[in-house]
């Protein structure tokens, strides 16, 4: 059978990895797919560099639209990224009847509803395994492997840059700014790391997982997003003393009231496997009603790990592209006419537990006032840690840190209590609040 022909838009790190792995493993991939898969055309602004990467046998152009217009091309891989030209090209490829493979989480988390609807109307597939957690086949697991389950929650370390920074902060006792600079110098963080450190990249990924897990539309605009830029070495140290690690988690959960969709730093018990995922690695925990807890671990970025996911999509499409579109796996796991309208909850309605750190005057009655406010609001305390004043401000210090772990409460209730605590004259600095997830 004639090879399936693939056009690649953008040959950077992931594109060149895809080309190389496809070439290296072509015989095995053909035996699996039932047909050869060949990248026969590449579009890249730097034509000379692209040509040197793929060799003389592949046509290289600087105009992505020439790839889309080529009737021989069956599948278009979009690896340009961003919302702008990438969106136009994906929509044009769909309109031209091409299947699309993309690693573009930002595009799908924001414009997924429009893109999947256009693809369904045209009878083509849009595959995006590489968009979430790089080489970990988490889309496949959620959409197919766990299809028997009512998914209850997902919690993931789905941004390698921030996990690397948090690991370094913990290992070396350093503050965020210092580690970020070092990570940039070593190439672990980008020159503009905003999407990573502010939690936006993780929110794109958890938005996609949430849609697949619960059969809701992609709704990035409803996600609560908080990054790691305000975390201090002291909180990482205190968390450790209480038996927790701080991780940037993407969390989505089904509750009786609606869906939680949130990204923020979280204390996780050190005894959980996911708390021990260090460096740039990714991991996702999925809780299903039938299977229980499952854990997926691996590289969330990089040339060949991400290529592994891109090529898995190419093989899936090659196997299924002649099938009746109704017999394919739906883009978001649920049939398009059977999606749920469960609301995504505002953060004030989320129920979780908390780590609070208060810098207070070291004098009689302070702890009683603070804990009294929690008791009045019906918030139960799980643990309290108080440092010696000398340890905080040196010998003779009159200030100390009080750390309180709470049991579960509504975030809106805690917000009210924090405002009252902050107004106490003996609370001397802005209160630090970090959410805590037991993940049991």
Residues in a beta bridge with 434: 355
Quick one: which of 16, 159, 353, 426 contacts ligand HSE (CB under 6 A)?
A: 159
Q: Using the minimum distance from each CB to ligand HSE, give the nearer residue, 15 or 300.
A: 300
Q: Is 301 in the site for ligand HSE (CB under 6 A)?
A: yes
Stretch touching ligand HSE by CB under 6 A, among 112-120, 156-164, 329-337, 367-375: 156-164
Q: Using the minimum distance from each CB to ligand HSE, give the nearer residue, 287 or 306.
A: 306
Q: Is 160 in the site for ligand HSE (CB under 6 A)?
A: yes
Calculate Rg over the CA atoms of the chain: 24
Q: Is 298 in the site for ligand HSE (CB under 6 A)?
A: no
Quick one: which of 161, 219, 352, 426 contacts ligand HSE (CB under 6 A)?
A: 161
Tokens 């693939």 map to which residue?
Answer: 6
Q: Using the minimum distance from each CB to ligand HSE, give the nearer residue, 34 or 84.
A: 84
Q: Is 225 in the site for ligand HSE (CB under 6 A)?
A: no
Q: Using the minimum distance from each CB to ligand HSE, give the nearer residue, 201 or 411.
A: 201
Q: Is 135 in the site for ligand HSE (CB under 6 A)?
A: no
CB of 201 to ligand HSE, least distance (A): 5
Stretch touching ligand HSE by CB under 6 A, among 23-31, 52-60, 154-162, 239-247: 154-162
Q: Is 102 in the site for ligand HSE (CB under 6 A)?
A: no
Which of positions 178-217 make contact with ligand HSE (CB under 6 A)? Answer: 196, 201
CB of 11 to ligand HSE, least distance (A): 17
Residues in a beta bridge with 3: none
Return the exposure string of 152-177: e unless at least 16 CB atoms fall within 10 Å of the residue's CB, then b: bbbbbbbbbbbbbbbbbbbeeebebe
Q: Using the minimum distance from each CB to ligand HSE, give the nearer residue, 18 or 161.
A: 161
Structure tokens belonging to residue 216: 């809701």
Q: Using the minimum distance from each CB to ligand HSE, give the nearer residue, 7 or 300.
A: 300
Stretch touching ligand HSE by CB under 6 A, among 84-92, 109-117, 158-166, 334-342: 158-166
| Set 98, 105, 140, 205: catalytic member | 205
Contact 282, 297 (CB under 8 A): yes
Which of positions 408-437 make contact with ligand HSE (CB under 6 A)? Answer: none
Using CB under 6 A as the binding criterion, the count of chain residues that bind ligand HSE stands at 7
205 catalytic, yes or no?
Answer: yes
Q: Is 41 in the site for ligand HSE (CB under 6 A)?
A: no
Q: Using the minimum distance from each CB to ligand HSE, give the nearer residue, 159 or 426.
A: 159
Stretch touching ligand HSE by CB under 6 A, among 137-145, 153-161, 373-381, 410-418: 153-161
Residues in a beta bridge with 102: 78
Stretch touching ligand HSE by CB under 6 A, among 55-63, 90-98, 157-165, 239-247: 157-165
Active site residue ranges = 205
**Chain residues that interact with ligand HSE, rule: CB under 6 A:** 159-161, 196, 201, 300-301
């Amino acid at each position: 059978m004639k090879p399936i022909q693939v056009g690649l838009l953008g040959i950077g790190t992931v594109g060149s990895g895809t080309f190389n792995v496809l070439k290296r493993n072509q015989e095995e991939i053909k035996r699996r797919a039932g047909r050869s898969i060949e990248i026969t055309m590449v579009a890249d602004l730097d034509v000379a560099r692209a040509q040197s990467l793929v060799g003389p046998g592949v046509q290289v152009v600087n105009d992505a639209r020439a790839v889309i217009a080529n009737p021989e091309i069956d599948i278009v891989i979009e690896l340009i990224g961003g919302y702008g030209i990438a969106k136009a090209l994906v929509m044009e490829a769909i309109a031209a009847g091409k299947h699309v493979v993309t690693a573009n989480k930002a595009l799908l988390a924001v414009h997924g509803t429009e893109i999947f609807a256009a693809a369904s109307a045209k009878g083509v597939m849009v595959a995006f395994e590489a968009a979430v957690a790089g080489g970990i086949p988490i889309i496949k697991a959620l959409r197919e492997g766990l299809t028997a389950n009512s998914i209850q929650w997902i919690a993931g370390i789905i941004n390698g840059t921030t996990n690397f920074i948090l690991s370094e902060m913990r290992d070396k006792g350093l503050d965020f700014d210092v580690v970020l600079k070092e990570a940039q110098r070593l190439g672990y963080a980008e020159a503009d790391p905003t999407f990573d450190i502010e939690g936006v990249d993780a929110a794109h990924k958890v938005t996609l997982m949430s849609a697949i897990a619960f059969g809701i539309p992609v709704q990035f605009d409803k996600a609560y997003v908080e990054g790691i830029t305000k975390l201090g070495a002291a909180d990482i140290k205190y968390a450790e003393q209480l038996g927790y690690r701080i991780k940037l988690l993407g969390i989505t959960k089904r509750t009786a009231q609606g869906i939680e969709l949130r990204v923020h730093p979280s204390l996780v018990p050190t005894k959980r496997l996911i708390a021990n995922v260090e460096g740039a690695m990714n991991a996702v925990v999925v809780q299903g009603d039938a299977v229980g807890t499952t854990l997926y671990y691996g590289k969330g970025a990089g040339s060949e790990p991400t290529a592994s996911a891109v090529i898995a999509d190419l093989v899936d499409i090659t196997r299924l592209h002649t099938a009746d579109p109704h017999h394919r796996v739906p883009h978001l796991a649920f049939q398009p006419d059977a999606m749920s309208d469960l609301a995504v909850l505002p953060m004030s309605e989320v129920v979780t537990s908390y780590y609070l750190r208060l810098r207070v005057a070291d004098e009689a009655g302070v702890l009683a006032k603070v804990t009294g406010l929690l008791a009045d609001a019906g918030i139960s305390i799980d643990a309290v840690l108080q440092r010696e004043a000398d340890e905080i401000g040196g010998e003779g210090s009159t200030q100390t840190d009080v750390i309180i772990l709470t049991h579960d409460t509504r975030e809106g209730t805690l917000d009210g209590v924090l405002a009252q605590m902050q107004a106490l004259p003996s609370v001397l600095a802005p209160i630090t609040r970090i959410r805590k997830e037991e993940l049991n």
